[in-house]
Amino acid sequence: MKTSEQSLSNAVTIERKNFDALFASLIKREYQIVGPTQRDGAIIYDIVKSSNDLPEGWAEEQNAGTMRLKRRNDKALFGFNSTVQSWKKFIHPPSQRLWQTKQSSGKPAIIPEKSKKQKLAFLGVRACDLAAMGILDKVFTDSPFTDTGYRIRRSDILVIGVNCTQAGGTCFCASMNTGPAISSGYDIVMTEIVEKSRHYFVVEKGSKVGEEIIKELPSAEANVYEIEGAEELVNKTSSAMGRKIDTTNIKELLSRNSENQRWQQNAQRCLTCGNCTMVCPTCFCTTIEDVTDLTGREANRMRKWDSCFTMDFSYIHGGSIRPSVYSRYRQWLTHKFAAWHDQFGTSGCVGCGRCITWCPVGIDVTEEITAIRMSDKNNPSITLSKENK
């Protein structure tokens, strides 16, 4: 987070009672607003039209394999941590048509799919999810093989971030250096502060358009007390993180432990359901399906999310190259935390904790990596304890 001195010239405060002016300003600019909302016992991201749609006064309790909503004792609008799914579904849709073919006068015509530009304002993006969007940008646009559809969808998205002021049960963004404070990639960033007699937001601009929007809102220059209060809340969140992970030389650790017995132990629990990949904000793998109508006159080529936990995912002539459960879990974890560095120059994990919460058997990636580190033959503390025996 920025220092108070840096922030002083920029930050303003917006009172809760004036918060809907933000919606008015975004709607005037023809943004469709996507934000958190409560539905079916969970908090999800969907179209929101006013602060009435936000999950006011709700929080969630998360642990390995469990999540339930609970009432807060205040009326915070962003008093929860991570949602079921991330923003990935809006920029990398679960299913999309690539092209279709139709018979006309006996001849098939191929009709390419045109990706539509979308003017979306993402309201309430957390630091981990913003980091995940940065990773997806690298995957889809920062290489010789740009995904045109992704680039078009991503091109007109306004990001309004919210700093986390409490840690979730399964979060470990502090270990991954992605949060809880938002440091870049936003148009506007806010910290929500709920006091006994006052509910307000400390707000900073991150882009020209963000600055223009803030100027339209009823606001006051933030004072030192307000800025430092916001910073303190975010700093406390970092130290109260539910989980942590030691990432020292993690690529080398995982690479030399491809035959660690922990993979086999884990395979006795893993259901290969793929939930962890579906909820992960950075997993991007897809498969292609061709779908025809019954007459054979029309066919659609679809691209759909896939998962390295399915047998088909690694199917080549003669069979799947990862038939065992342990090989599939190992593929997922080592790609995310090790090989991703070689491919994209970054970790594939942002520490959002979703894979831990939504794993039906409660497999916890932080526990798995810790177990591998503790049983690593090159771990100096293991060697030391053996020598001491």
Residues that bind ligand SF4 (CB under 6 A): 270-276, 279-282, 309, 336, 349-355, 359-361, 363, 365
Compute the C-alpha angle 102/105/110, nearest 5°: 30
Q: How far is the CB of 95 from ligand SF4 (least distance, A)?
A: 20
Give whichever of 11 and 280 is closer to ligand SF4, judged by the CB atom.
280
The DSSP annotation for 128-171 comes to HHHHHHHHHHHHHHSSSS--HHHHHHHTTEEEEEE--SS--TT-
Q: Taking a C-beta distance cutoff of 8 angstroms, is the pair 204, 11 a contact? A: yes
Q: How far is the CB of 181 from ligand SF4 (least distance, A)?
A: 17
3-state secondary structure of 109: strand
Give whichever of 4 and 331 is closer to ligand SF4, judged by the CB atom.
331
Q: How far is the CB of 374 from ligand SF4 (least distance, A)?
A: 20
Give whichever of 146 and 265 is closer to ligand SF4, judged by the CB atom.
265
The C-alpha atoms of residue 51 and residue 38 are separated, in whole angstroms, by 12
Give whichever of 265 and 378 is closer to ligand SF4, judged by the CB atom.
265
Q: Which two tokens stand for residue 240?
A: 């109260």
Give whichever of 170 and 219 is closer to ligand SF4, judged by the CB atom.
170
Beta strands 120-125 and 32-39, pairing class: parallel
Strand order in the sheet with 220-221: 42-47, 32-39, 120-125, 157-162, 188-194, 199-205, 12-15, 220-221
The C-alpha atoms of residue 122 and residue 31 are separated, in whole angstroms, by 9
Tracing tokens 């990432």 back to the chain, one arrives at 247
Give whichever of 58 and 263 is closer to ligand SF4, judged by the CB atom.
263
Q: How far is the CB of 139 from ligand SF4 (least distance, A)?
A: 13
Give whichever of 213 and 308 is closer to ligand SF4, judged by the CB atom.
308
The C-alpha atoms of residue 28 and residue 212 are separated, in whole angstroms, by 12
Adjacent-strand bridge partners of 320: 315
The C-alpha atoms of residue 248 and residue 264 are separated, in whole angstroms, by 24
Give whichever of 7 and 170 is closer to ligand SF4, judged by the CB atom.
170
Give whichever of 271 and 321 is closer to ligand SF4, judged by the CB atom.
271
Q: Taking a C-beta distance cutoff of 8 angstroms, is the pair 248, 175 a contact? A: no
Tracing tokens 């840096």 back to the chain, one arrives at 6
Q: How far is the CB of 194 from ligand SF4 (least distance, A)?
A: 27
Give whichever of 234 and 279 is closer to ligand SF4, judged by the CB atom.
279
Alpha helices in the chain (DSSP H): 4-8, 20-28, 88-91, 127-141, 148-154, 173-176, 208-216, 224-239, 250-255, 261-267, 275-279, 325-334, 340-344, 354-357, 365-374, 380-388
Q: Cα–chain-centroid distance for residue 121?
A: 16
3-state secondary structure of 329: helix
